[in-house]
Chain A
Amino acid sequence: MAYRPSKKRRHHVEGMDLNIIPLLNVFVIIIPFLLLTAVFARTAIIDILLPGESGAAASTSPAEEGRFLTVKVTGKGFRLGGIGRGRFIPKKNGRLDFEALTDRLVKLKDRYPQVEEVAILFDPDVSYDLVIKVMDSAREAYTVKDGKRIRRILFPVVSLGENR
């Protein structure tokens, strides 16, 4: 006569299905919490060179000419100076032509790879937003090649000054 399988054994076999409901509960709690604390706007910083003290900007004596690039931002457009032959990039359709500026700066960097400094001069009443925008285009350029965005450092040492 065969024995009946023990109760313990049968229980084991029946309980094979994992009970995932508690795990689900945990997930439901954790996900809203993480969503609330998630930081999607990441802050970053831009280091700048203080003009005057470090002697980079402000002074435009002939001896210093050619050591760094200057970008003047005026109401009419960008005026490049310092290294290379100066060039004026006029506004296009009433807006500053950032693409032409980037093109020009990439070419300048090709010709003067050792130059790192740029002095950017602004009118006193331009907004901080524009200041950052011009600084960004002077610091680095993004080019699209084979569908990939390639970052290129142009003139990372930025100092700021005022148009006189």
Chain B
Amino acid sequence: MPLPPSRKKRRNTRLGTATLSLTALMDVFTIILLFLLKSYSAEGDILAADPRLKLPLSTSTEAPRVRLLVQVTPDDIIVDGVRITGVRDALSGKGLLIKPLYKELNAQARKTEFIARRNPAVRFTGELLIQGDRSIPFRLLEKVMYTSGQAGYNGISLAVISRE
């Protein structure tokens, strides 16, 4: 009567035919892939995160639109990527108007109006987006808003980071 195969031998034979089961790993990958694809926005960020400033947090969920961008970092005021004036100069000036900013915004408004005259697809809406650092004082924000209003930009939006 032949003896049954020993345990060791049986295990050996099983190992020989076993393949690595990748199904579970594939499931995980598929779920991660779907999640990431869902959160992937193809249009990209209209607002590039600027390392010089930290935006405040807010509960707002309104999506940003393309507009003239005014950045107020702790040190500089930047319009459309060009540094206009320093924050210290802006704060020390008398009254609410920041002169260099006013000049720049006026030029921008004139430029847009000029383009709008030739190209009906472009309209001057007077919309402006302020990206301000969370530490700037209200006085500075007020000055920037006042100056924008004087230059013809009345639709002002504030950029924030959504908590949602």
Contact = CB atoms under 8 A, between A and B. Distances in A.
Contacts of A135: 58
Contact of A128 (B39, B40, B129, B138): B138
A50 B149 contact: yes
Given A34-B36, A41-B49, A142-B59, A124 B157 contact: no
Given A122-B138, A126-B138, A136-B59, A34 B157 contact: no
B18 interface: no
Contacts of A126: 137-138
A124 B136 CA distance: 10
Contacts of A45: 60, 62-65, 129, 157-160
A132 B58 contact: yes
A87 B146 CA distance: 29
B154 A53 contact: yes
Contacts of B29: 24, 27-28, 31
Interface in A89-127: 122-127
A162 B36 contact: no
Contact of A38 (B39, B59, B134, B146): B39
Interface residues of B, number: 53
Contacts of A31: 29, 32-33, 36
A129 interface: yes
Nearest to B133: A128
A128 B56 contact: yes
B142 A124 contact: yes
Contacts of A125: 137-139
B37 interface: yes
A65 to B, nearest CB: 23
Nearest to B132: A128
Interface string A135-147: 1100110100000
A52 B32 CA distance: 51
A128 B141 CA distance: 8
22 contacts: A21-B22, A24-B22, A24-B29, A28-B29, A34-B36, A34-B40, A41-B49, A45-B64, A45-B160, A46-B157, A47-B157, A48-B156, A50-B156, A122-B138, A124-B142, A126-B137, A127-B134, A128-B134, A128-B137, A131-B56, A132-B160, A160-B141
Given A44-B159, A48-B145, A160-B141, 17 more contacts: A17-B19, A27-B33, A35-B36, A41-B49, A43-B46, A43-B160, A44-B60, A45-B129, A47-B62, A47-B156, A48-B156, A50-B149, A123-B138, A128-B136, A131-B141, A132-B56, A133-B56
Interface of B: 19, 22, 25-26, 29-30, 32-33, 36-37, 39-41, 45-47, 49, 55-65, 129, 132-139, 141-142, 145-146, 148-149, 154-162, 164
